């Protein structure tokens, strides 16, 4: 048996383990270590191969955990938990309701923009869906919205946190493909807003056609402006991230920061806001505890999968898959669309982060090769962009596909979260309500494919 055949066999074992319910981190680590032992044993005998494989696997957790890029994750996660304890979710929803309630389906439209705003301090789709299931659904039901629409709006709105910075999943993508974390975060902003606007268009169209989502009127201009101060910490965090990553010059001095420093500044702003609004030390402890749990989970996932990635490299699977994809008798764009369709199917069985971590080591080099290589110029490329721009564009596309999988059965994590928070709404109703938003996501992805500048314009200015 050749190393390549071992790679195929162990990848099949990994898929079986994941399907039967083994955690991705542990399944990937097990397959990676066993695969490394098998590959090295073929080359240098079992005893030496066994020792070499274990030494290599043992260095991965330390060598990767000390990477500076990973330090941004805990700061972004902390911002989201502190924002929850600061009560910013309800204030965002109230402001959106007062300013946008007059539209057809105005309460739902307000929920979409409120979730987009919370996404700017959260970065976690599931957390966003859980929070707004408590805040927004009761108010939508109170004014006559159906349970199906109310739950679907929250589930779909929660997915925006995957794109709008600070996005944890974009950070993970940047680390895996060794691209700029700052540029990936900035690149998600315009597509995130574009995705929200497509959702809004779908909601307004459905409300105007079916008449089952009444507009909310009666708010005075004074009441609208009175709702703004409570949302200012959100705008402050967004401004900090943008100014830090882009840089600013004042009085001849330039000020810029790394993503980690920007996240730390944002966490400080939200921390001060939370204390001003009455957060207790016990709640701060809970926020820190939840942040640590989620950060450790993500770090463990990365460590386990990197063992598998190291094994794939020695087995030669990424190179073989790249050569296979490039040799296909189709246009590069059609091949890319087929890859994205494969992600849609895979996302029905694996959670978003696990799906990206497992597939990117093989798929990413193939996509870059389709474009012409890592160092190709825009003029000589297949997609009309440089290698760096292609990596950013593909990152946003694949993260948007991960968003899509959050509202599609049978996994559809956001739908299960909403149904869990609201036991009176069956998960089947949530999935049915998400069908229009599934169509909206397909339209959004089509727009990002047709007009890559939506993704690449903002990071090109950095």
Q: Indicate whether 375 pLDDT > 90.
A: no
pLDDT tens-digit map of 231-250:
888 888 888 888 877 776 66
Give 69 or 165, the one with higher predicted confidence: 165
Helices (H), 181-280: 181-187, 189-210, 221-226, 232-246, 259-276
pLDDT tens-digit map of 130-180:
888 888 999 899 888 889 999 999 999 999 988 888 788 888 888 888 888
What proportion of the chain, given as a percentage, has pLDDT over 70? 98
pLDDT tens-digit map of 238-281:
888 888 777 766 666 667 778 888 888 888 888 988 888 888 88
Q: Indicate whether 307 pLDDT > 70.
A: yes
Contacts of 65 (CB under 8 A, 6+ apart): 299, 303
Q: Indicate whether 112 pLDDT > 90.
A: yes
Closest-CA residue to 179 (of 386, 402, 388, 460): 388
**Sequence-distant contacts of 457-462: CB under 8 A, at least 24 apart:** 457/190, 458/186, 458/187, 458/189, 458/190, 459/180, 459/183, 459/184, 459/186, 459/187, 459/389, 459/392, 460/389, 461/246, 462/182, 462/183, 462/186, 462/245, 462/246
pLDDT tens-digit map of 393-441:
999 999 999 888 888 887 788 899 899 888 889 999 999 999 999 999 9
Domain boundaries, given as residue ranges, for the chain: 1-66, 69-287
Q: Indicate whether 367 pLDDT > 90.
A: yes
Q: Mean pLDDT, to the nearest integer, of 309-317?
A: 85
Strands 253-255 and 248-250: antiparallel
User: What is the three-class DSSP state of 179?
Assistant: coil
Separation of alpha carbons 97 and 140, rounded Å: 10
Provide the whole-model pTM.
0.86
Q: Indicate whether 106 pLDDT > 80.
A: yes
Separation of alpha carbons 70 and 23, rounded Å: 21
pLDDT tens-digit map of 51-68:
888 888 888 777 766 777
**Sequence-distant contacts of 269-278: CB under 8 A, at least 24 apart:** 269/233, 269/236, 269/237, 269/240, 270/79, 270/82, 270/83, 270/86, 270/88, 270/121, 270/233, 270/237, 271/82, 273/82, 273/86, 273/88, 273/233, 274/82, 274/83, 274/85, 274/86, 277/86, 277/87
pLDDT of 251 reads 63
């Amino acid at each position: 048996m050749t190393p390549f055949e071992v790679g195929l066999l162990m990848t099949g074992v990994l898929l079986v383990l994941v399907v039967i319910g083994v955690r991705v981190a542990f399944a990937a680590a097990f397959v990676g270590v066993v695969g490394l032992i098998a590959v090295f044993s073929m080359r240098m005998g079992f005893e030496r191969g066994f020792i070499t494989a274990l030494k290599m696997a043992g260095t991965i957790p330390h060598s990767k955990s000390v990477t500076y890029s990973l330090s941004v994750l805990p700061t972004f996660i902390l911002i989201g938990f502190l924002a929850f304890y600061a009560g910013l979710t309800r204030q965002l929803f109230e402001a959106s309701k007062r300013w946008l309630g007059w539209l057809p389906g105005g309460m739902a439209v307000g929920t979409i923009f409120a979730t987009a705003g919370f996404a700017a301090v959260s970065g976690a789709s599931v957390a966003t869906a859980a929070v707004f299931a408590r805040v927004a659904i009761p108010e939508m039901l109170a004014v006559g919205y159906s349970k199906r629409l109310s739950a679907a709006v929250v589930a779909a709105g929660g997915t925006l946190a995957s794109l709008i910075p600070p996005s944890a999943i974009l950070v993970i993508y940047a680390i895996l493909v060794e691209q700029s974390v700052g540029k990936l975060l900035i690149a998600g902003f315009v597509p995130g807003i574009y995705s929200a606007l497509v959702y809004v268009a779908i909601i307004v169209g459905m409300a105007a056609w079916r008449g089952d989502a009444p507009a909310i009127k009666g708010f005075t201009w004074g009441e609208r402006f009175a709702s703004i101060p409570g949302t200012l910490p959100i705008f402050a965090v967004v401004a900090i991230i943008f100014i830090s990553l882009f840089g600013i010059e004042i009085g001849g001095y330039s000020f810029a920061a790394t993503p980690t420093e920007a996240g730390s500044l944002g966490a400080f702003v939200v921390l001060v806001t939370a204390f001003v609004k009455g957060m207790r030390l016990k709640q701060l402890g809970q926020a820190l505890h939840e942040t640590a749990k989620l950060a450790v989970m993500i770090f463990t996932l990365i460590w386990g999968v990197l063992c598998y990635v190291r094994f794939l490299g020695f087995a030669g699977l990424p190179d073989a898959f790249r050569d296979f994809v490039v040799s296909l008798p189709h246009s590069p764009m059609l091949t890319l669309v087929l890859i994205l369709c494969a992600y849609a199917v895979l996302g029905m069985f694996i959670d978003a982060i696990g799906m990206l971590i497992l597939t990117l080591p093989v798929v990413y080099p193939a996509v870059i090769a389709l474009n012409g290589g890592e160092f190709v110029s825009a003029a000589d490329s297949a997609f009309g962009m440089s290698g760096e721009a292609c990596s950013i564009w593909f990152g946003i596309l694949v993260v948007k596909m991960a968003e899509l999988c959050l509202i599609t059965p049978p996994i559809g994590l956001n739908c299960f979260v909403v149904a869990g928070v609201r036991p009176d709404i069956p998960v089947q109703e949530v999935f049915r309500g998400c069908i229009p938003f599934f169509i909206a996501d397909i339209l959004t992805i089509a727009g990002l494919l047709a007009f890559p500048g939506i993704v690449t314009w903002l990071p090109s200015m950095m």
